[in-house]
Structure 1
Amino acid sequence: MWLRILLTLIILIITSNAMASWQNIKSKHFVVTFTQKDQKIAETTLRIVDNFHSQIKLCLGDYAMNVPVYIIIAPSREVFEYLGGVREKWAVGLATGNNRIVIFSPRKFGDKSEIERLIKHEYIHILLHQATGGNGLPRWLNEGLALYYESNVWRVSDDIRLAEAVLTHSIIPLDQLNFYFPSNRKRAELAYSQSIDIVTYIMKEYGYERLKQIIEEIARGCDIDTAMINSLGVDSLSLSTAWHTTLIKRYQWFYIITNTAFIWAALPIICIIAYIRKKRQGERKKRQWEIEDGMLPSGNVS
């Protein structure tokens, strides 16, 4: 009891000290709040989010134009957890329903290049909240769209996670990702990988306009199944089943090369090939020695 009170007081002291030195920089649509040590990061953040706003509004609309979005760069882990109410120790960003983004300073986790991905991701959450009128998207769709638009870079880590999950039959059912993601970090990472993959699947199979229609249906008050039936012609279970089928087809090669029976069947062939190559290398080397000793003319080398 006393320990909990003491920890709370320590956090409040740290937070109040940080808040005493807050500074702001502004643009037309954004206010970035930071402490002195994060001034350069704040300036970079404002530049990134201004540019990204001009790009993403063409896809998701001008939903956040009428009110400013506040971005707070927390100078320490304690301040970040206090302001964001975040429990996961691996979390570094949070978007709230009142147009506020709280991020843990990239200065603290050592990768300033991460700021672009992080800011874009959280800002998309803000736009999606505005787009649905606060009705909220399923968590997998919300995170999948944020990941889809934050970067066009192909993620090898997503393929590895999905392939492993297919191989071990540990794909998380889609309906379990409607409201919450797992608290376990490894399972949470799989949930994120699944989310972007299924959003990419919807984009390819149905097109962007149909996916945008899901958002519009939810904004009108429809639940996710009704929104999907009206937009895609299938409910979430049918979509999940079809997507899962494509995963199995895509990663069946991974199953084959990691299958024990395959490895044992291929082993004799691999050994024979290795033996033949080694024998040929030995013959070449022997001939080369004979040439060097003057026993064979150089034209006999094969």
Structure 2
Amino acid sequence: MLIQAVLFVSVLCSWGVCPAGADTERATLQRGIFTIDYPASQQGAAERTLAILEEAVQEFSPMLPVGDLPVHVLMVDVPEEFDRYAVHFAGLEVSGLAQPGNGLIIVKAPRLRMPDSDYPGTLRHELVHLLLFRNLNEDYLPQWLNEGLAMSLANEFYWQAMFAVARMFIQNRIIPLERLDESFYSPSGQMEFNDAYAQSLSMTRYLRNRLGEEVFWRVVLSLRDMPFPQALQDVGGLSLDDLWTGYRKALWKYAIFATMASGFFFQPAAILLIIAYIRYRRKTRRIYQRWEAEEAEEKASGGAVFHWEDVVEDPDAWKRDLYEDEESW
């Protein structure tokens, strides 16, 4: 596969369409299980790549050991070559991808990336995908958790994701759980693709905080043997519905914190959201308090206390106990 990449660049150049600035000479750097295939003029970037991956493997090894199988990293500085590997992401902006079954990581070389891009984060992200594949059953791991773990462990986009999810919530763009995985495979566009990543990271962090570090990793590692909903319930004591309901409720605080921490707070929609939320909470609390007081008064006076289910089934059900002696009137 690495040889094919070299031949691909050579053929392009032989046709007279070699991309400007592309390095047609390739070199390899090998140490331990890692082999870095890189443009010959970018040896410094290759050495940095190897160091980042070796450090990440040591960091992740307590939970996700890499094992003894080789890992090949292909650094690409030809856009057409990267697009050939990223065929499933046509029209979308991606800077790295992994083929875990082949032990292969493909990344855009630093000089092909935006100046402010997170090259170490991309390497760590794709490495996590490979580690999850080697340590878990990929059929049991939902894609949103796969991506959420990769971003979380790569230390990517924490603040960006927080603000993105706040905007999604305010604009009613939160992706339903049953559609979240599909948003990675066939998104409607770049916005939904980005939204899926941001939401997956925030959901993963929410789940991690709710379960605690130890239980969270027990749930993740149990995905070797059981599907996520079962692992979440049996190991984490949480149903999938509980997770989704809790996450949705937490989005209020998430959105308020994010909007207050940014200039987005001063947008009218954000201000209205906060006012509406505060009024909603106060109104709901007053209603519950009034209901509790009325029910207590009914019980104290010996009056009838009826249940909503009974009223729905039979609107006159609540009258029966009050008018048992109606015939003697």
Tell me, yes or no, whether TM beats 0.5.
Answer: yes
> What residue in structure 2 maps to residue 77 of structure 1?
79
Q: 1:14 to 1:112 in 2, by over 3 A?
A: farther
Say whether residues 1:141 and 2:139 are aligned partners: no
Question: Which segments of 5 or more consecutive residues in structure 1 lack a partner in the other structure?
Answer: 1-9, 267-302
- Superposition deviation, residue 142 in structure 1: 0.6
| Of 170, 175, 179, the match for 2:173 | 170
**Cα gap change, 1:81/1:113 in structure 2, threshold over 3 Å: closer, same or farther?**
closer
Distance 1:257 1:66, change over 3 A: same
1:139-288 alignment, distance < 5 Å: 139-151=143-155, 154-155=158-159, 157-181=160-184, 182-220=187-225, 222-252=226-256, 254=259, 258-259=267-268
Deviations 1:41-100 (A, max 9, x none): 111100111111111112x231x2211111101121111122343424411100112211
Deviation at 1:262, TM superposition (A): 6.1
RMSD: 3.0
Question: How far is the alpha carbon of 1:167 from its aligned partner?
Answer: 1.0
| 2:41 corresponding residue in structure 1 | 37
TM-score when scaled to structure 2? 0.68
Picking from 11, 14, 17, the partner of 1:13 is 11
Question: For the Cα contact (< 8 Å) 1:129–1:135, is it kept in 2?
Answer: no
Match of 2:309 in 1: none
Deviation at 1:257, TM superposition (A): 5.5
Mean Cα deviation higher: 14-23 or 37-46 = 14-23
Shift of 1:175: 2.1
Q: Assess, with a 3 A threshold, how the Cα gap between structure 1 residues 114 and 15 changes in structure 2: closer, same or farther.
A: farther
The equivalent of 2:287 in structure 1 is: none
Kindly tell me the number of residue pairs found equivalent between the two proteins.
Answer: 251
Q: 1:88–1:228: structure 2 CA closer, same or farther, 3 Å change rule?
A: farther
Q: Amino acid of the residue matched to residue 214 of structure 1?
A: V
- Could you say if the C-alpha distance between residues 103 and 120 of structure 1 is closer, same or farther in structure 2, counting changes exceeding 3 Å? same
Do the aligned partners of residues 103 and 183 (structure 1) sit closer, same or farther apart at CA in structure 2, a change above 3 Å counting? farther
- Give how far 1:32 is off: 0.6
Aligned to 1:269: none
The answer to whether residue 70 in structure 2 is matched with residue 68 in structure 1 is: yes
